[in-house]
Amino acid sequence: MHELFVSRLRALAVAGSEAPQLCADVLSRTERLLSQEVICRGDSPVTGYPVILSGWAARCQFLPGGARQIVGLMLPGDLAFLVSIR
């Protein structure tokens, strides 16, 4: 399942031949989330670097009045790290 993540690491020249071991280290703990569950929030401390292995996730911004705006989609192989939106 982590082949997409390994290929992304290689494409970015981040890990070279060490990509499979780096991937195994990063993915040593997997967690299955249900629909509508939060992966990470901007006001929470970062405790890891989540990788989307299957399915998809949306990055959203909360607007005045409580509405949410989807500002990005994450697909298998993507790192779900926080990106500042201003």
Domain residue ranges of the chain, discontinuous segments joined by +: 3-74
Position 67 pLDDT exceeds 90:
yes
Q: Contact 9/22 with Cβ under 8 angstroms? A: yes
Per-residue pLDDT tens over the stretch 9-20 = 666 655 556 666
Binning pLDDT at 50, 70 and 90, where does residue 86 land?
very low
What pLDDT, on the 0 to 100 scale, is given for residue 65?
Answer: 92
Residue 85: its pLDDT value, please?
A: 45
DSSP codes of every residue in 13-82: TSSGGGHHHHHHHHTSS-----TT--S--TTS------B--SS-EEEEEEPTTS-EEEEEEE-TT-B---
